[in-house]
Amino acid sequence: MPFLAGAWFTDPEAFEAVLGYEAAELEQREVGDKLLIPEKEVEVTIVGVLARTGTQDDGTIFLPLRTVQKVFGQEGQLTGIGIKVKKEADIAAFEERMYRLPDVQVVSMTQVKNTIMTLISTAKVMVLSIAIIAVLIAVVGVVNTILMSVMERRQEIGILKAMGAKAKDIFRLIWTETVILCVAGGVVGCAMALGTAKLTEVLVRRLLPYTPSGGLVTIDYSLALFTLGVVTLIGLLSGVYPAWKAGSVRPLETIRSEVE
């Protein structure tokens, strides 16, 4: 564990602390500063700050074991122990031995990994469900918008048909308008996503001080192009009914109804 400044404790019972990189930044502390342990009214001196490692150690505050036991009134006791085994060790057999220990809860990294993967799978299902609902809402919104536009322009459509425009010409006109509307909305949405990605990362870092280093929000440009393709497909499908409705307008009835 490389140090950015300072070193480890000078004594096993010293009231000293070593801070991870992110913890030092959050607490605004340097080597030689004092750090107050909440609710215990005990101050410890910071003797070291670790370099950034990109692991959970960056957000950890380290104190001597005996000092922690004394401060929290747990002399001679332990809350948790982390065990790292060699690569050639039989992990299954080792876990089985640990399970036999009385009054000890054993949590293996395999269990932690499985739990995390389950959470990720659940999150993916939730995101996919939200995306499907958003697509359905978008389809209904586009159909409603174009239908309202067709209803408001019935007289214009009737005049076009009276001047010789065929049903397929009106269909193509409304359908093209729908696709343009959807593509324009998709372009604006992708531009907003690209523009707000950095802002989202800043907000996340402010709300969660122990966030990992590196980029948190990454937008794949191939995914943006795929999104535009999906939006265009939505426009093609959504515009079928309004375009058919516009193409089936009877010119004489439309003009007569507008005159009356």
Per-residue pLDDT tens digits for 42-63: 888 888 899 888 777 888 889 9
49-53, 126-130, 236-240 — which is least confidently predicted? 236-240
| % of the chain surpassing 90 pLDDT | 1
Structure tokens at 247: 């193409």
pLDDT at 166: 83
**pLDDT value at 64 more than 70:** yes
pLDDT at 255: 61
pLDDT at 254: 64
pLDDT at 228: 81
- For the segment 4-30, the average pLDDT, to the nearest whole number, is 86
Please list the residues that pair with 37 across neighbouring strands. 42
Q: How far apart are CA 257 and CA 154, in angstroms?
A: 10
**pLDDT value at 14 more than 80:** yes
3-state secondary structure of 257: helix
**Quick check: 46 and 3 in contact, CB under 8 A?**
no
Per-residue pLDDT tens digits for 168-219: 888 888 888 888 888 888 888 888 887 887 787 778 777 765 566 666 677 7
3-state secondary structure of 5: strand
pLDDT at 208: 66
Per-residue pLDDT tens digits for 68-109: 888 888 888 887 887 778 878 788 888 888 888 887 788 777
Structure tokens at 46: 């910071």
Q: pTM of the entire structure? A: 0.51
Structure tokens at 216: 């948190």
Please list the residues that pair with 50 across neighbouring strands. 3
